[in-house]
Amino acid sequence: MADKRYSGEALGPRGERERYSRVIRALDLLKEDLSQSVPSPPSGLFGARAVLRAGGSVIDLANLDLEFTVPFDDDTTANEAEFTVYNLSRATRERLELDKAVTLTAGYGDDTGVIFSGVISDVKSPWVGVDRKTVISAVDNPALKEKDVENISFSAGTSASYILRALLERLGLPIAVFRARKDHIYEDAVTVSGGIMQSIDRYARTCGISTYIQRGKIYAQDVRESTNGLRFDLDSSHGLLESPEPFQEELKEDGETEIRKGYRLKLLLQHRAMTGSLVNLRTRDVTGAFHVLEGKHVYNGTDFITELTVI
């Protein structure tokens, strides 16, 4: 006799059939919930990719131990990145000459992008036990080293925004955006001397904005008004590793005080994260759109992450 459990015939009273139907529906709903809860980005180091091009050599994380720290922020001071590679050949080490171009591309799977571009500023290759450790230092804007200027004079009635633009023009880079949020008119004549970067930062604060370099261009604006087109979603299913940490700081300039609030974030490495990027943040306690102020990309052999300050 055929086994009725598999014949498609009735299994018993109507109540029994309905009970089995409810179980099947519940299993289908559970399967649907589980499929939706799977995070879209990879976790940990699974799928992590990093390729360093330095001095004509290509160093791939897939083949060599490569670690890095890449900071970025909202001022014109050159940022210094550090790359550590173990057991490079002598020929590769000899190609790592000062002022040679350096580019780091990183991300997950096919979703990668350039997170650093600059030139070599220093190379050290000490022995650490049986391993040769090569540490490459690089700066992202070598032309923007701090230098002194002597007595740039501005007449009485000059605005802070006019002085700021004049100082930025001395850097020799194109100005992509110049948008002062506030201004100040100086009743007396003004003389600027000393470090040009320090002076730029001072007058930028007076104008209520940040000045920073991206892709060889100067951006002078409030990062909350950035329109660089870089944006990404961030929640527990899109790379967020810890709950946002709130912060608040008091900014003072020319007798005025401003309170700036935001969050510090830790996430899986996100190559779209740079000063001015738009972050669509969604957590149980915080939901909204924020702009990146500063941060760093890090791989230390264990963590492949980006740390951000957003406002």
pTM beyond 0.75: the answer is yes
Does position 101 have pLDDT exceeding 70, yes or no? yes
Quick check: is 34 in a domain? no
Instruction: Check whether residue 139 and residue 152 sit in a common domain.
Output: no
Mean per-residue pLDDT, 195-222: 91
* Domain that includes residue 170, residue range: 144-223
Share the mean pLDDT of the chain: 86
Instruction: Check whether residue 217 and residue 235 sit in a common domain.
Output: no
Quick check: is 2 in a domain? no
Quote the CA–CA distance of 166 and 243 in Å, as a whole number: 42
Of the candidates 143, 160, 184, which is a domain's last residue? Answer: 143
Of the candidates 223, 255, 271, which is a domain's last residue? Answer: 223
Of 3-17, 87-101, 179-193, 209-223, give the lowest mean pLDDT range. 3-17
Question: For position 214, which CATH number holds?
Answer: 3.55.50
Instruction: Check whether residue 132 and residue 190 sit in a common domain.
Output: no
Quick check: is 88 in a domain? yes
pLDDT at 38: 34
Quick check: is 12 in a domain? no
Q: DSSP labels for 240-303?
A: B-S--EEEEEEEEETTEEEEEEEEEEEEE--TT-STT-EEEEE-SS-EEEEEEEEEEEEESSS-
Does position 91 have pLDDT exceeding 50, yes or no? yes
Mean per-residue pLDDT, 9-13: 44
Mean per-residue pLDDT, 222-241: 91
Mean per-residue pLDDT, 270-298: 96
Of 131-140, 167-176, 269-278, 298-307, give the lowest mean pLDDT range. 167-176
Quick check: is 4 in a domain? no
pLDDT at 141: 80
Instruction: Check whether residue 138 and residue 149 sit in a common domain.
Output: no
Of the candidates 84, 115, 143, which is a domain's last residue? Answer: 143
Mean per-residue pLDDT, 184-197: 94
Does position 228 have pLDDT exceeding 80, yes or no? no
Instruction: Check whether residue 203 and residue 251 sit in a common domain.
Output: no
Instruction: Check whether residue 150 and residue 204 sit in a common domain.
Output: yes
Instruction: Check whether residue 83 and residue 94 sit in a common domain.
Output: yes
Quick check: is 42 in a domain? no
Instruction: Check whether residue 113 and residue 148 sit in a common domain.
Output: no
Question: For position 64, which CATH number holds?
Answer: 2.30.300.10
Q: In this structure, how many other beta carbons lie within 10 angstroms of the beta carbon of residue 76?
A: 25
pLDDT at 147: 73
Quick check: is 7 in a domain? no
Instruction: Check whether residue 188 and residue 247 sit in a common domain.
Output: no
Of 34-43, 115-124, 173-182, 240-249, give the lowest mean pLDDT range. 34-43
pLDDT at 148: 78
- For residue 114, give the 3-state DSSP assignment: strand
Q: Domains in the chain: how many in total?
A: 3
Instruction: Check whether residue 292 and residue 231 sit in a common domain.
Output: yes
Quick check: is 243 in a domain? yes
Angle, vertex CA 79, rays to CA 288 and CA 195, nearest 5: 110
Instruction: Check whether residue 242 and residue 285 sit in a common domain.
Output: yes
Contact between 253 and 305 (Cβ < 8 Å): no
Instruction: Check whether residue 60 and residue 135 sit in a common domain.
Output: yes
